[in-house]
Structure 1
Amino acid sequence: MKTKLKRLPAIPLLAGVLILLHYILINAVAPPVNSSWGIRYSGYWLLVIASSIGTNLLALYLGYTACLTKKPWQRLGKIAFYLVMTSLIGVIWGLIFYKAFDVQDLWIGLFPISYNNFPFATSILIWYVGGPFIARYIANFSQEIQQAMAFILSWLVLLMPFIFAKPLWGMTDGNSFIWVGTLFVFGILIAQGSFSWLNYYKKTFFVAIIGFILVVTTAKLMPITQSPSSLFGRFYSSQLLNVGLISLAVFGLLNKFFTTHFTWLTRSIWPNWFALCAYFVSCLPIITNRLANDLHINDGMSTVEWLALIVMYTAIMLVAVGLLTLVLNWFTRIKSVHYLIVKFTLNNFTDLIGAPKFAKRMLRENWHILVVVMCGFIFTVTQMSVTFLTTTGFSWKLLYDILTVTRNRLILNVIIFVCCFLLLFSLINRFWPALVFTSGISIFIGVAEYLKISLRDEPILPVDLSMVTAFGEIAKMLSPIIIVAAVVLLIILITASLILQHHLGGIYPHDMWKRRLITFLAMLLFFSGSFFVNHENSLPYIIFRSFNIDPLFYDQSTGARMNGPIVQFINNLDVKIMDEPAGYSKAKIKSIMTKYNRQAKQINQTRHNELQNQTIVFVLSESFSDPNRVPKMKVTPNPIPYLTKLKQTTDSGLMLSSGYGGGTANMEWQSLTGLSISNLSPTLPTPYTQLVPKQKIVPAFTNLFDSKIAIHPYNASLYNRKQVFKAFGFQQFYYQGSNDQLSYEQKLADSSYISDDSAYKQTMKVIKRTQSGSRFIQLSTMQNHMPYTTNYKGKKFRIMGSAFDETNRDSVETYVQGLSYTDKALKQFIAEIDKVDKPVTVVWYGDHLAGLYKSSLMDKYPIQLHQTDYFIYNNQTHQLSYTDRLVSPYAFPALALANGNVKVTPYYALLTQVTDKLPAMTTDPAASETNNTNGANIFVNQKGRQLKYRNLSSQQKKIFRDYQLIQYDLTAGQQYAARWAQQKLK
């Protein structure tokens, strides 16, 4: 019997509620463990399966009302608007509450079908648009044929896959096109009078109850161990017989009930849009990830609390989606928004035939911006390609990697290109000159980037702009061919822009000055964000991270290759070196210099040695730290017995590292300059690449010596070491590939790194070299660098404790074995030092802990996980003043001079006071898990306890203030004290 059709908005309303409840249950709730027959376990899975019928009900309802829906294609524009706005609001939500989003969250809204993040919507949309035709076609069939159709579909789609629980017809889940279409046709058939049993309360109620009993019984006999998001089984899957019949039964009950009750609801269309928004929200990864991580409901609470949280989450989600629906509905009434929706609306189904003409019209109307985007794409790919060509030849794989691996970063570069064009276009109101000029800049950037990386292994940085004033000197360094080619290209670009503008035009009408002004101001605002990209939690910072931009300050060339030259340049714009201390002035700096001139004389009254004929060696031992000092870990036997013994017979202790798992160059910088990284701005995490190139004068410990040699048994591209060491005054730099060739390059087992034994032998070769005058050697080893995958033979150390994950055990064992090899090499190194008949002082320290331990340890033991070993050894004095002193790397120059009883210059008198009178300074180790960035300055006393500035004595505050003022002057100020800090001992 054919039923009297009515719209029943209560059904899509309930469907929306179930969709949201299901979304909460599978993403925010940890599935309860099946311990006996718990109420929570059974209740959870019953709710999961019951709520999974939400999309089934929606498909049935849309099919049921298909014959009442007139021209559904006219709603496509509005549906698209709801989808895009829901995705955008999701991004805004992530920005406001979590200071983060992923660029995929934008693509999902703009390309929903291609991204396939809304599979149910994609499936139902096709059936929905064709619904009136399908309903009209089926209505022409006799009742007998309709019944046969219902039977055949039920047999093929419901029963056959159920028999062996196999996903027939490609129906792997409830979103498949076949399953959604079957439900849609079922809805049409119900409207035509088929499925007559749905008209009886008792029958539908009986089917629903039996279905749920089967669910509960099966869950008891065969406990569910699957993830709720991918649940599959005869009695569980929303696209198989049991849940399918439950869906039909519930739909029949609701249909029967709301046909005769609450009839006033039939006048509202809001529930339809509510269900749509509910589904869109449930597909947004940005919300899903937060539910699964930040808002997850765990099992360790009472059932009442557990259930209350689920109800609360669902209620909040219902209110939020309800408000979202109302807001979007209000937006559609705004004139400009309504016009936009209408513009993308099909008035008649036959308009699809004119789709090619529509596409041509859109291309014709918007070809200008398409040309700009295409130029931006071509020139960006070219720029990124030429940066790679400095290290490798061209290949199609290189191009493929740029288009895929760096896709998001490529898109950001194109956006910047387009915005640069819009800025120029809005200013000069000439399309072709603006485009050609923007393209010309891109070409010059690509060429300049290639030349600079080839010559100096460094991309174009903001500091290079200061060299524009020295263009004549730069031109002398370039080949005449390059200069001529640049001039010719410039002439071609200017000529081309004038010709194109004359023939093709392309300007704003004169009465569009308001649009030009708005565009100009918007682009200025966009580019002003360049000065905030490194300010944590700022909008530009969040956007850059969402596009997968990694500044790679420690390797600027790789940063230019991976991020693109323009983005890497912008990364280096937002660099504030240091906050200016109150009272900074030339007079103040001079008074400090005078003060420590006197202090140096006072210190030197008790110091009797000069640097002449002395050698000081700084040894940075990669990732070295006593593993037995790691909380909750024990290694037996002691893997570093020699170092343990040596530290008891010479000046030694613990060093506060500002890094964990990385940050080697920062420890080098501090030890070589005597400056603390904790005084620098958070936007300057890597002084080697961001600070040193900007300094006109670079004071360093090397200034005190006649001969300066650096050794790093690896390549020198990381951290800009070649240029930095040149600025520090090193006369020789031994590294792999250098003109100063390494004599020892042996490796242990299958390691990628040169062994410490070879590094020490190379150092001894330099020490034994006959030379008059003072000498300084900087050695940075590589043996114990990550990753810890070397297949060392005969690992003999037993490692116990819970400091690391078991999956990491092999890496920890490899790391500990490497420390043992370092200990043995160190023993031989010190023995060789003792044979030298001239004074040699060795400052030896580990730069940071290996990043092998559980991140949860950082919350409880931040100081301990930033403490490494150090000692200061002199082959003649064998001084022993302390064995447990806690210091920071900036103290090593002062400690080295003190250990050798060497006189100091005024600057090192200041460092001596800072070292002796102040607690050790470092960045806050609890600020992040990795702590590879600088920021908040903290003090740590000799007991390893953190102090604040207010805990310092008045004398300590004065010394700290002097130190801050001098550091600011040397790094960010006028460098009044630069020559003073560089002076040698007289």
Structure 2
Amino acid sequence: MERSRARSSFWIVLACIAVPLVLVFGVEFIQRGNLYETWAWMSHNPKLFIMNGILDLFVFLLIFGLTGTLLPSFALALLLLCTMSFVSYFKVKLIGEPFFPWDIFLNKESMNIMPLVANKSALMRIGTMVVSVLALFVLSFFVPRLRLRPLTQIGVGLAAIFALYSFGVNAPWSSYVMDRMGASEIAWNQSENYGSNGMALAFTMNVKNAIVPKPAGYDEAAMASLAETLKTAQQSGIQTASLNMDSAGGQKPNVIFIMNEAFWDPTLLPNVKFSEDPVPTVHRLQQESTSGYLLSPQFGGGTSNVEYEVLTGQSMSFLPAGSIPYQQYISRPISSLAGYFEGQGYKSMAIHSYEGWFWNRENVYKQMGFESFMSKDQFTNPQYKGDFISDDEVANSIIKQVDSSDRPMFIYTVTMQNHGPYDDNRYGTNPIKAEGPLTPDAKSTLETYTQGAHDADASLQKLIDHFTQTGKPTVIIFYGDHLPMLGYDYDVYTQAGFIHTAKSEQWSLEELQRMHSVPFVTWSNIGLSKEQVPTISNSFLGSYVLNRIGLPLPATLAYNRELAQKMPGMLRNLVVDASGKLYPSVPAPLKGDVEKYREMQYDELFGKQYLAKYIDTEYLKQNVMPNYNQEFAEQPPADADTVLNASEH
């Protein structure tokens, strides 16, 4: 009996050494995509390899503590960690971001990525993992079952929980261990963070980032002092606004924001020529009216984060990399353009030609003060282009809503037609041809995307024609949420010479700006003067538009406008100052201004909302509209289509 126990203990100890090493190798091989890069990382970073092994060991021990049997625990640990690695691998390929702890809570949205990765290569990799897991389960029936005693099982499980929790919250002892093992968090570039530290370690270091830290010195006295600073910015903004309002004839025009899915100008690709201008309306407006480039916090996905910045005036730069405010943070009323326009006598409506539950929009729009939300179900017998409702159909809906309203309207529109991936030949033939140094697959992808951009451009022209004819005072702001994901590893962008490498950590600041710059154009029939805007962050767009129209700015948005004049562009890892100079982080002269911006955002999103006691109470303490979506509440769904798949919309 003693010999049998000793033998079992020997095999368990051996497994505790070997299993984590196998798990790290498997996870990193999946994450990095090839054997050479995996071996290079392991051989050049032996301490980090061991550190990842320690973390995988505790995951294995936690499962071992729950099940009490060795091989099934190995199989479950392999299934869990390799699944996470697969998700991270494909997420990086698609939108340049790895798998974060908070991605676990995306619920329905996370499932919609599956059709995008269900290709032959992906299925072979996933199949290999599944076969390995099944083989371990089958093997467990034919070899002696190595079990833990009940008390030992409980002890192992509790010890694993304690260790994983300590590493996740960065307890002092675990921080010491990670420092000694060479861990160095690169929070501003998560692709590099995962590539340098390994997936298990980078994922674990991100756990603490799920909690947004309170700014130093945050309390009511500090916010009262900040309120006085904000009043100064507001007074300056009121002066400018009244002048513009006079020049506009005192009108309250319809204000229509159109965030067109993945809209970008494909003619910016330096080595590609097109058989005709794919976006003639946008190019004309760039010459005739106010236009420029928005600095988007996203690439290829994460549309709701762009909405969040535009609608609230808050910045993703102050939130954990990869976080989704719509999913994680907005659970109480929050100030937004929707509530602002309602306070100005407008009817505020959101229009989105996809499922209302996606990204939790139906709940978030309610908290933002929208009066109505028209989602896919409220479109009657809509026209489809490919898998999604067409942009032309969305333009028809905007026209119908404005023409039937007896109040001026604020409409925030999010389209879907040109949603990726673009390798589906959705239009059959693409009349606009691309010529350049592209592979056949890249050429086909680009042409499909370009046809969608052309249709988006035509839908904008349709709106312009209508409001020109009716003469209803109207301002349209048209832009994309992010650059499109044109193939894995930025395939089209590298082939066309837009960037020099697919490795984002090696991009210059100029390339980083290029990959996050989306054109925006405006049109109005109220006589607004033309202005060129080289760069402006999405979070500053709302205050910029209100100021241009001549509407009074609440204090927080007035501060946004003032800050944008000093620092028009800000991402987590890129800052553009007033002269257009690029920085990898906030330069010293602007840090105080940016800190005030961060304090404003923390106070409303996470804090006690002290500012609302001192300034702009009506704006900062907006209430949910009591009649939210009543006009659509009793309407039956327009059709019974099955839910269409989308990666990030």
Instruction: Compute the TM-score of the two structures, normalised by the length of structure 2.
Output: 0.65
CA-CA distance at 1:572 after TM superposition: 11
CA offsets per residue over residues 810-863 of structure 1, 9 Å max, x none?
A: 111111112112212211111212334443222211111111142625535222
Counterpart contact for 1:760–1:829, Cα < 8 Å: yes
User: What's the counterpart of residue 685 of structure 1?
Assistant: 323
User: What's the counterpart of residue 765 of structure 1?
Assistant: 400
Q: Tell me which of 356, 378, 385 is aligned to 1:716.
A: 356
The alignment-based identity, stated in percent, is 23
Tell me, in whole angstroms, the C-alpha distance in 2 between the residues paired with 1:864 and 1:652: 16
After superposition, the Cα gap between the structure-2 partners of 1:656 and 1:101, relative to the gap in structure 1 and judged at 3 Å, is same
Counterpart contact for 2:333–2:369, Cα < 8 Å: no
Q: Tell me which of 370, 374, 380 is aligned to 1:734.
A: 374
Tell me, in whole angstroms, the C-alpha distance in 2 between the residues paired with 1:704 and 1:972: 20
CA-CA distance at 1:714 after TM superposition: 1.1
Residue 310 of structure 2 is aligned to residue 675 of structure 1: no
Counterpart contact for 1:652–1:870, Cα < 8 Å: yes
User: What's the counterpart of residue 540 of structure 2?
Assistant: 891
CA-CA distance at 1:763 after TM superposition: 0.9
CA-CA distance at 1:538 after TM superposition: 12
CA-CA distance at 1:901 after TM superposition: 1.6
Residue 512 of structure 2 is aligned to residue 862 of structure 1: yes
CA offsets per residue over residues 781-818 of structure 1, 9 Å max, x none?
A: 1111112224435533342334x544222111111112
User: What's the counterpart of residue 336 of structure 2?
Assistant: 700
After superposition, the Cα gap between the structure-2 partners of 1:529 and 1:771, relative to the gap in structure 1 and judged at 3 Å, is farther
Counterpart contact for 2:565–2:578, Cα < 8 Å: no
Tell me, in whole angstroms, the C-alpha distance in 1 between the residues paired with 2:39 and 2:612: 49
Q: Tell me which of 841, 844, 862 is aligned to 2:478.
A: 844
CA-CA distance at 1:675 after TM superposition: 0.9
Q: Which amino acid aligns with 2:389?
A: I
- After superposition, where does 1:381-530 map in structure 2 within 5 Å? 508=151, 520-528=158-166
User: What's the counterpart of residue 657 of structure 1?
Assistant: 296
Counterpart contact for 1:698–1:978, Cα < 8 Å: no
User: What's the counterpart of residue 970 of structure 1?
Assistant: 604
Tell me, in whole angstroms, the C-alpha distance in 2 between the residues paired with 1:517 and 1:93: 24
Tell me, in whole angstroms, the C-alpha distance in 2 between the residues paired with 1:864 and 1:849: 9
Counterpart contact for 1:531–1:574, Cα < 8 Å: yes
CA-CA distance at 1:898 after TM superposition: 1.7
Tell me, in whole angstroms, the C-alpha distance in 2 between the residues paired with 1:406 and 1:984: 55
- After superposition, where does 1:138-537 map in structure 2 within 5 Å? 289-291=34-36, 295=40, 369=68, 508=151, 520-528=158-166, 537=194
CA-CA distance at 1:876 after TM superposition: 1.0
User: What's the counterpart of residue 436 of structure 2?
Assistant: 801
Residue 595 of structure 2 is aligned to residue 961 of structure 1: yes
User: What's the counterpart of residue 281 of structure 2?
Assistant: 642
Q: Tell me which of 520, 523, 526 is aligned to 1:873.
A: 523
Instruction: Compute the TM-score of the two structures, normalised by the length of structure 1.
Output: 0.44
User: What's the counterpart of residue 567 of structure 2?
Assistant: 918
Counterpart contact for 1:620–1:781, Cα < 8 Å: yes
Tell me, in whole angstroms, the C-alpha distance in 2 between the residues paired with 1:967 and 1:367: 42
After superposition, the Cα gap between the structure-2 partners of 1:913 and 1:368, relative to the gap in structure 1 and judged at 3 Å, is closer
Other structure's SS at 2:512 match: coil
CA-CA distance at 1:670 after TM superposition: 0.3
After superposition, the Cα gap between the structure-2 partners of 1:647 and 1:507, relative to the gap in structure 1 and judged at 3 Å, is closer
Q: Which amino acid aligns with 2:340?
A: L
User: What's the counterpart of residue 827 of structure 1?
Assistant: 461
Residue 218 of structure 2 is aligned to residue 584 of structure 1: yes
Tell me, in whole angstroms, the C-alpha distance in 1 between the residues paired with 2:240 and 2:37: 65
After superposition, the Cα gap between the structure-2 partners of 1:671 and 1:525, relative to the gap in structure 1 and judged at 3 Å, is same
CA offsets per residue over residues 717-763 of structure 1, 9 Å max, x none?
A: 321111111111222111123xxx12462123xx0111111111101
After superposition, the Cα gap between the structure-2 partners of 1:614 and 1:368, relative to the gap in structure 1 and judged at 3 Å, is closer
After superposition, the Cα gap between the structure-2 partners of 1:603 and 1:370, relative to the gap in structure 1 and judged at 3 Å, is closer
Q: Which amino acid aligns with 2:158?
A: F
Residue 242 of structure 2 is aligned to residue 604 of structure 1: no
Tell me, in whole angstroms, the C-alpha distance in 2 between the residues paired with 1:742 and 1:78: 65
Residue 445 of structure 2 is aligned to residue 811 of structure 1: yes
Q: Tell me which of 594, 619, 622 is aligned to 2:261.
A: 622
CA offsets per residue over residues 181-224 of structure 1, 9 Å max, x none?
A: xxxxxxxxxxxxxxxxxxxxxxxxxxxxxxxxxxxxxxxxxxxx
Counterpart contact for 1:91–1:101, Cα < 8 Å: no
Q: Which amino acid aligns with 1:726?
A: K
Q: Tell me which of 550, 553, 568 is aligned to 1:904.
A: 553
Tell me, in whole angstroms, the C-alpha distance in 2 between the residues paired with 1:719 and 1:920: 26
CA-CA distance at 1:519 after TM superposition: 5.5
Gaps of 5+ in 2: 1-6, 47-64, 81-103, 112-122, 134-147, 171-184, 495-500, 623-649
CA offsets per residue over residues 399-438 of structure 1, 9 Å max, x none?
A: xx9xx98987x99xxxxxxxxxxxxxxxxxxx9xxxxxxx
Q: Which amino acid aligns with 1:291?
A: Y
Structure label with greater radius of gyration? 1
Tell me, in whole angstroms, the C-alpha distance in 1 between the residues paired with 2:160 and 2:429: 65
Other structure's SS at 2:158 match: helix
Tell me, in whole angstroms, the C-alpha distance in 1 between the residues paired with 2:416 and 2:536: 23
Counterpart contact for 2:294–2:517, Cα < 8 Å: yes
User: What's the counterpart of residue 542 of structure 1?
Assistant: 199
Other structure's SS at 1:721 match: helix
Tell me, in whole angstroms, the C-alpha distance in 2 between the residues paired with 1:763 and 1:672: 18
CA-CA distance at 1:628 after TM superposition: 1.6
Q: Which amino acid aligns with 1:866?
A: H
RMSD: 4.8
Q: Which amino acid aligns with 1:700?
A: S
Q: Which amino acid aligns with 1:871?
A: V
Q: Which amino acid aligns with 1:641?
A: P
CA-CA distance at 1:597 after TM superposition: 2.0
Tell me, in whole angstroms, the C-alpha distance in 1 between the residues paired with 2:570 and 2:312: 15
CA-CA distance at 1:94 after TM superposition: 5.0
CA-CA distance at 1:507 after TM superposition: 7.1
Counterpart contact for 1:655–1:886, Cα < 8 Å: yes
Tell me, in whole angstroms, the C-alpha distance in 2 between the residues paired with 1:969 and 1:688: 17
Gaps of 5+ in 1: 1-75, 104-285, 297-312, 321-365, 392-400, 412-430, 432-505, 547-569, 925-937
User: What's the counterpart of residue 138 of structure 2?
Assistant: none
CA offsets per residue over residues 145-193 of structure 1, 9 Å max, x none?
A: xxxxxxxxxxxxxxxxxxxxxxxxxxxxxxxxxxxxxxxxxxxxxxxxx
Other structure's SS at 1:776 match: strand
Counterpart contact for 2:259–2:479, Cα < 8 Å: yes
Tell me, in whole angstroms, the C-alpha distance in 1 between the residues paired with 2:425 and 2:20: 48
Q: Which amino acid aligns with 2:232?
A: R
Other structure's SS at 1:869 match: strand
Q: Which amino acid aligns with 1:826?
A: L
CA-CA distance at 1:627 after TM superposition: 0.9
User: What's the counterpart of residue 746 of structure 1?
Assistant: 383
After superposition, the Cα gap between the structure-2 partners of 1:768 and 1:290, relative to the gap in structure 1 and judged at 3 Å, is same
Other structure's SS at 1:705 match: helix
CA-CA distance at 1:775 after TM superposition: 3.1
Tell me, in whole angstroms, the C-alpha distance in 1 between the residues paired with 2:475 and 2:374: 20
User: What's the counterpart of residue 117 of structure 2?
Assistant: none
Compare the two structures and name the one with the higher helix fraction. 1
Tell me, in whole angstroms, the C-alpha distance in 2 between the residues paired with 1:887 and 1:849: 16
Between the two structures, name the one with larger relative contact order (CA 8 Å, sep ≥ 6): 2
Tell me, in whole angstroms, the C-alpha distance in 2 between the residues paired with 1:901 and 1:616: 12
* Count of aligned residue pairs for this structure pair: 495
Q: Which amino acid aligns with 2:240?
A: T
After superposition, the Cα gap between the structure-2 partners of 1:798 and 1:91, relative to the gap in structure 1 and judged at 3 Å, is same
